[in-house]
């Protein structure tokens, strides 16, 4: 079920302030359906290259927006695979950590830290998406 923020995003209006990370992917990528399959993300817009690959793809998960952008060396934007790792972990709060992690794994993610309950009141797992980005799937317990 869509919330008011995701409806606003679809209509081209962002709730302010908003935080929209830009994740770099390798040049030449044509399929980013992982995010739809793993997280139920909705692709809002796509800007393609002449060869059918993705230049920019804009997604929303609920009321949260993020962008995928092909590598741009001139701006220092390189994908995690190109850099040999990432310095960012994206936290995604969900209702059911177990089901989202299973869904992400089925869509092509690698589990780097299995679901675990922590004494600080969170259930968390960490996955790595097919482009090398780390996601911490979590819920308050």
10 lies in which domain range?
Answer: 4-140
Asked if 81 and 132 count as a contact pair (C-beta separation under 8 A), the reply is yes
Q: Which one is predicted more confidently, 84 or 2?
A: 84
Banded model confidence at residue 18, pLDDT cuts 50, 70, 90: confident
Contact 110, 116 (CB under 8 A): no
pTM of the model: 0.85
What is the Cα–Cα distance from 89 to 85, expressed in whole angstroms? 11
The percent of residues in the chain predicted with pLDDT above 90, rounded, is: 72
- Assign 128 to helix, strand or coil: strand
pLDDT tens readout for residues 37-57: 999 999 999 999 999 999 999
List of residues 6+ apart from 54 with CB closer than 8 A: 25, 29, 30, 32, 46, 47, 48, 68, 70
4 CB contacts (<8 Å, ≥6 apart)? Answer: 63
Closest CA to 128 of 77, 70, 69, 88: 88
Q: What is the pLDDT of residues 86-126, one digit of tens each?
A: 889 999 999 999 999 999 999 999 999 999 999 999 999 99
Number of domains in the chain: 1
The CATH number assigned to the domain holding 53 equals 3.10.180.10
């Amino acid at each position: 079920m869509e919330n008011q923020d995701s409806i606003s995003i679809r209509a081209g209006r962002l709730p302010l302030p908003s935080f929209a990370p830009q994740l770099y992917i390798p040049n030449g990528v044509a399929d980013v359906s992982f995010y739809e399959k793993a997280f139920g993300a909705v692709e809002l817009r796509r800007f393609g290259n002449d060869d059918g690959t993705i230049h920019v793809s804009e997604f929303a998960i609920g009321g949260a927006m993020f962008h995928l952008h092909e590598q741009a060396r001139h701006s220092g934007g390189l994908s995690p695979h190109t850099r040999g790792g990432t310095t960012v972990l994206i936290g995604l709060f969900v209702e059911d950590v177990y089901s989202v992690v299973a869904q992400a794994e089925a869509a092509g993610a690698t589990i780097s830290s299995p679901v675990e309950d922590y004494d600080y009141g969170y259930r968390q797992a960490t996955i790595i998406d097919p482009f090398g980005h780390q996601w911490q799937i979590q819920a308050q317990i």
